[in-house]
Structure 1
């Protein structure tokens, strides 16, 4: 099913691109006149003078005696020179009406013929012999191309064998030709629907429709898609107490729990990637594809399921873990851009200080609101494109978004600040699409408040372990790893810390100077790794993928002396976990935080 979904998604992208091309080319055909598409803006029709009877009488009949089955004998004058056109069984022959020799179009004559059909403001630039050209589809032979220095880059083609103008071409014709190619999906220039590409596109579209029906049937049969709008109840067992919650059947268990303010962990916002929203149901409950990937066989056998993967029509009774979390009103006291795309937000709690451990996170309750997008809220990376971005107000419904604390509790000032790093992501259409939380938070002004719930999470230091810490992070994964590093350094006897951090370029290195300072004091071995080649600034450090740089280090050191902490983008996280598994590191010595960041 995963492969089918992947193939269906990419097929839809290909079809969407082709639909866009059809729309663009169709609009072009509707707006541009036919004469302009033919490239005949400066073309004038030149009538050829026919030969008189007297001129025919002066010719020698022996000139055409060798031709068999002659069907037509015509005469005309081309630039004052008589020409015979003889159609016979073998084809068409052209003779010089003065000598009977085969017709020859020399360069000067070709120029004169082209000039007789040209009415534009330009003058001829050059005459070039040609035997084939993309301007004339299917033509091969001997001829001349005469270029004119007008505003349309006109080109006139003259056939050497017959002395006739083959056609006019110019820049508007080239544009029209490409529009025909895109519209007919015929990139040979033949302008025909009868070719392999259009047949393949038809088969691809048919496959897209069939695979859509297959996926729809599969989702409906497994309960991953629900269309029932009726109300339903959910019985929740927590800490020996039972609660009955009411929701709609198409809602997920996670949505109902959050709607009724029943604390439950969730890092990915219900996307089925973090595996934090585990609830205990029945071992006979349906198992989804996401659960097979994220939960162990023993957990599935015991009845554990993901609350974001089941609706109330599938799970009516669940048991959840009692969490010591509270709602807090957080007031924004400071902001700054750490990188062109990553913003640091500093909050203080309006009630009592929030007690938390390094590596934990808060769920921000992004309210239903109308957010005004302003230029000063747009990160540096998008400033040049600001005038092209949607402006004005953006409406969205209430959502939850999770962000890890970027500092340990003991490392902030007396106001007990909570520090978060938020990666700006332009919002897409739809209330639950990515970008809503980041846009809202990055648009907040100092002094504004927002509700947050927590702390959540078990991405914590193994304090009892004697082993050193090996941190591997990337992108916004800096936040919990920085907090863990700071918390470790606050201990009376801190363990040695190795930190490999990956970014695309020099500008995206977060807290770079701070970590360099810690390294200079010998408190941490810090290795920044850039994945993109540096052309605009000098970079003497490590380059490539961060997990590969970490592997090179571990190959020269005793990796068994480390506990590993990982946080970063999904691909980096997946590659790093696979690398450590191949190295032989036990799972219990690897802790990671996967919020799909």
Structure 2
């Protein structure tokens, strides 16, 4: 049996136990402590922290997330880190509201309710939780879905709002040769059972915040944005919202009727479809279409980004380009929310 050690986090003054054979981030989730995280695979640096005292070793990780000189100085990635003594760790990034107020991680057995294409390469997957019967999460979070017959998983954001407790919707982009997305062409059918683990992610609406909201999405990144918008609609959130969604052509736009209806339930809502290719024909009722890449459209239309909260989800190049835009506009980091999916889970 692995030895157990005590971890003390600064500057938040929180303590927890961790077994030597579990990663520090996983131990935190197990004990209801929601540390800042992203890919959970040692590739994105969201959980990078500094060891003030104690012995820690890391499993394999990307040197882009934590380079050799940083490791020598004492920096670690908590999603890769194992503790071999009592330790004191300084958290470099944390959200006081989430640390002890997040939703506990759950293992959920679920049944497939529906598998429906919404575009040529995006599929809606709807699951019903069986055990437990309710999957709790916050709008904007994601979950791991285990690939049947394996121990591997893929991460997908929930598209449903937390109030929709009897079902959970995911939007899955189909990639050529994709292991999970390939199952949606007959390998997974209505009535099959799958397992979820989550929720994860910190790209959630913060209680009591009043700044206008700018949502920026592309492809299957529609999912967490939809969850946020549905939740804001359910709760009567009064903040203004602009939603920029990037697609290649008009044929790649979907859920347009529901998105238009948010103008009736949100106080001040604007939807801007951004098409990277010119389109001669648009679906009925679609207006305000811009031609160009999403970050360029956002940059041209939004002059007060530093006075907004921004929520991002989409292909990594789109997210990276948008982050560059936000940095150039002086948007404070605590007003930017996103979960960076890396290639093993972005499928």
Same fold per TM (> 0.5)? yes
Q: Aligned residues, how many?
A: 308
User: Could you list the runs of 5+ residues in structure 1 that have no partner in the other structure?
Assistant: 1-231, 247-252, 369-396, 428-434
Deviation at 1:418, TM superposition (A): 0.6
Residues 336 and 343, structure 1, Cα contact 8 Å, conserved in 2: yes
Select the residue among 328, 333, 338 that pairs with 2:118.
338
Q: Is the 8 A contact 1:359 1:404 kept in 2?
A: yes
Deviation at 1:545, TM superposition (A): 0.5
2:21 aligned residue: 245
Report the counterpart of residue 354 of structure 1 in structure 2. 135
Q: Distance in 2 between matches of 1:445 and 1:353?
A: 22
Over 3 Å counting, the alpha-carbon distance change for 1:279 and 1:426 in structure 2 is: farther
Q: Which residue of 1 aligns with 2:93?
A: none
Q: Does 1:549 align with 2:321?
A: no
Question: Take 1:365 and 1:262, find their aligned partners in 2: how far apart are those partners?
Answer: 22
Map Cα deviations across residues 404-441 of structure 1 (whole Å, 9 max, x no partner). 1002112x3xx6211111111233xxxxxxx2222235
Say if 2:219 is the partner of 1:475: yes
Matched residues in 1 for 2:221 and 2:85: separation?
35
Among candidates 293, 304, 321, match of residue 76 of structure 2: 304
**Equivalent of residue 43 in structure 2, options 273, 279, 302:** 273
Alignment of 1:403-482 (within 5 A): 403-410=156-163, 412=164, 416-427=166-177, 435-440=178-183, 443-482=187-226
Q: Do the aligned residues in 1 keep the contact of 2:212 with 2:309 (CA within 8 Å)?
A: yes
Pair 1:267–1:363, CA change in 2 (3 A): farther
1:501 aligns with 2:245: yes
The reply on whether 1:510 has 2:260 as its aligned counterpart is no
Cα offsets for 1:17-75 (capped at 9, x unmatched): xxxxxxxxxxxxxxxxxxxxxxxxxxxxxxxxxxxxxxxxxxxxxxxxxxxxxxxxxxx
Inter-partner Cα distance in structure 1 for 2:126 and 2:205: 23
Alpha-carbon distance between aligned partners in 1 of 2:170 and 2:229, rounded to the nearest angstrom = 15
Quote the Cα distance in structure 2 between the aligned partners of 1:438 and 1:306: 29
Does the 8 Å contact 1:359/1:459 carry over to 2?
yes
Determine the structure 2 residue equivalent to 1:399. 152
Alignment check: 8 A CA contact 1:405 1:483 kept: yes
Cα shift at 1:468: 1.1
Alpha-carbon separation, structure 1, partners of 2:118 and 2:228:
19
Q: CA deviation at 1:518?
A: 2.6
Residues 493 and 277 of structure 1, relative CA distance in 2, 3 Å threshold: closer
What residue is the counterpart of 1:224 in the other structure? none
State the shift of 1:519 in Å. 3.7
Q: Which has the larger radius of gyration?
A: 1
Alignment correspondent of 2:95: none
User: Once the 2 structures are TM-superposed, how far is the Cα of residue 235 of structure 1 from its aligned partner?
Assistant: 5.5
Distance in 2 between residues matched to 1:291 and 1:283, nearest whole Å = 20
Q: How far apart are 1:567 and its partner, in Å?
A: 1.2
Contact 1:283 1:302 in 2 (8 A): no
Q: In structure 2, what is the Cα distance between the partners aligned to 1:582 and 1:300?
A: 31
Q: Secondary structure at the match of 2:66?
A: helix
Corresponding residue SS for 2:64: helix
For 1:579, the equivalent position in structure 2 comes to 325
Partner of 2:272: 527
3-state SS of 1:465 partner: coil
Q: Judging changes above 3 Å, is the alpha-carbon distance between structure 1 residues 496 and 300 closer, same or farther for their aligned structure 2 residues? A: farther
Cα-to-partner distance string for 1:345-383 (whole Å, 9 max, x where unaligned): 111111231111101111112233xxxxxxxxxxxxxxx
Judge conservation of contact 2:115–2:184 (CA < 8 Å) in 1. no
CA distance in 2, matches of 1:318, 1:280: 14
Question: Which residue does 1:366 correspond to in 2?
Answer: 147
User: What's the CA shift for 1:317?
Assistant: 5.8
> Does the aligned pair in 2 maintain the 1:267–1:402 contact within 8 Å?
no
Report 1:168-187 matches (<5 A): none
1:491 shift after superposition: 2.3
Shift of 1:470: 0.7
Deviations 1:163-182, CA, capped at 9 Å, x for gaps? xxxxxxxxxxxxxxxxxxxx
Deviation at 1:582, TM superposition (A): 0.9
Q: Distance in 2 between matches of 1:475 and 1:550?
A: 16
SS of residue paired to 1:488: helix
* Residues 500 and 334 of structure 1, relative CA distance in 2, 3 Å threshold: same
SS at match of 1:347: strand
Deviations 1:485-505 (A, max 9, x none): 111122234211101110111
Distance 1:244 1:591, change over 3 A: closer
Question: In 2, Cα distance between the equivalents of 1:589 and 1:300?
Answer: 31
Does residue 290 (structure 1) correspond to residue 64 (structure 2)? The answer is: yes
RMSD, aligned α-carbons = 3.7
Corresponding residue to 2:108 among 328, 353, 371 = 328
Task: Measure the CA separation in 1 of the matches of 2:252 and 2:57.
Answer: 44
**Structure in which a larger fraction of residues adopt helix:** 1
Name which structure has the greater RCO, CA cutoff 8 Å, separation 6+: 2
